[in-house]
Amino acid sequence: MSEAYAPSDSDAHATADELDARDELAHRRKDFVLDGTVYLDGNSLGALPRSVPARLAEVVEREWGELRIRSWSESGWWSAPERIGDRIAPLVGAGAGQTVVGDSTSVNVFKAVVAALRIARGEDGGRDEVLVDAATFPTDGYIAESAARMTGATVRAVPAAEMADAAGPATAVALVNHVDYRTGELNDLPAATAAVHRAGGRIVWDVCHSAGALPVELDASGADFAVGCTYKYLNGGPGSPAFLYVRRELQPRFETPLPGWTSHADPFGMTPGYVPGDGASRGRVGTPDILSMLALEEALKVWDGVDIAAVRAKSLALTDFFLRRVQAYVPDGRLRPLTPLEHRRRGSQVSLLCTGDEGGGGAGPAPDAEVVMTALQARGVVGDFRRPGVLRFGFTPLYTSFADAERAAAALGEAVRTA
């Protein structure tokens, strides 16, 4: 834990207050619409940035209501996908001109996997294998299977930690989650990228659970493609558009499987033949979803002046503190951390497995995760759960406080005992 977050008081409430007083990001909390609830589900849906409602009203009333079609040029609607992509880029360690916003995570995974397959096969026609993180979020696996069927490739699922060793002469693409959505484990992006490249393959990273929570460093690691959502730690709102990163050197060879009119070199030429545009704009497909896209653009202003290294330091301090307080409040044997304790392997969430001891050890049967989470919500603490018995708590450093973590741990102890 950094010196800034080193506790000096054995009393939990006093320690939480002391840590909050030292927190260099504490002033960002006022930029969000929050109530008395302890909200620890930002890994599923981030809180509402306070300035977004007024901006949306302006878009609807002025840009749509008055300017109407003129807003594509006069209000900058047409350039929004690239402009907002460049705003996200520093948060994922990318230079300008490599990130485009639009469509959903699933659609962008499909674009990236198929494009990576085509590039890899262009370099070596014998490559026909797609490696997929065995613990991947389900949609990534579904999309990989579909992309493989369409291209005549095969899919092999391997644990993310073994991806480097699994890549070989048949590997065309590896699709890996940077942070495991279920356990919160952080996978080694630079090492896996380097290993897949040594094997001659290409790599696609799903950074949905890391963008806005920790340094991602896509450029520095040499990542080929990356896909991320914007409604979690980036606080873009429900269903806000995802983003696609295409490394600059690969852009001339990026052949999208969804050649829509807005990625055409001359989109208003309305010619029958498709000619791709330049740069990251090749990742565009159809008409941008302007309302949600401009809400996202406004939401991203909360990141102005924020150092992602400070975000990471606070995230680790918050999760450390929460884990210690859970150990203090929850009866022995009832919950077990699934999230790694080592900082280098931890994202910005804590996942706890409901356990029990029905053999007479005193802990009793394992509590039901859904029952525990319902009891927590009744106590004003919001997290979520994944079957069969995983409790998940997402820590968003821009608005989560140490007092929140203390209150959540205390409530969790009560909920487990009653469950």
Q: Is the pLDDT of residue 364 over 80?
A: no
| 344 domain residue, yes or no | yes
Distance CA 92, CA 72 (A): 28
Mean pLDDT of 244-248: 98
pTM: 0.94
303, 332, 356 — which closes off a domain?
A: 303
- Rounded to the nearest integer, the mean pLDDT of the chain is 94
The CATH number linked to 334 is: 3.90.1150.10
**pLDDT for 367:** 79
The predicted-structure confidence for 57-97, as pLDDT tens digits, reads as follows 999 999 999 999 999 999 999 999 999 999 999 999 999 99
Mean pLDDT of 344-359: 86
Active site residues: 137, 206, 231-232, 392
| 256 domain residue, yes or no | yes
**pLDDT for 356:** 72
**pLDDT for 10:** 61
Same domain, 237 and 361: no
Residue with tokens 């590039």: 119
Q: Is the pLDDT of residue 400 over 70?
A: yes
**pLDDT for 52:** 98
**pLDDT for 28:** 98
Same domain, 292 and 345: no
Q: State the greatest distance between any 2 C-alpha atoms of the chain, in Å, as a whole number.
A: 76
Mean pLDDT of 374-402: 96
**pLDDT for 273:** 95
Same domain, 109 and 194: yes
Mean pLDDT of 204-208: 98
Percent of the chain with pLDDT over 90: 92
| 259 domain residue, yes or no | yes
**Cα 81 vs. chain centroid, distance in angstroms?**
18
Residue partners of 127: CB distance under 8 A and separation at least 6:
120, 121, 169, 170, 171, 172, 200, 201
C-beta of residue 318 within 8 angstroms of C-beta of residue 405: yes
Same domain, 243 and 347: no
Our count of domains for the chain comes to 2
Which pair of tokens denotes residue 406?
């203390």
With bands split at pLDDT 50, 70 and 90, how would you rate the model's confidence at 358? very low
The predicted-structure confidence for 105-137, as pLDDT tens digits, reads as follows 999 999 999 999 999 999 999 999 999 999 999
| 42 domain residue, yes or no | no
Range of the domain at 126: 53-303
Same domain, 208 and 289: yes
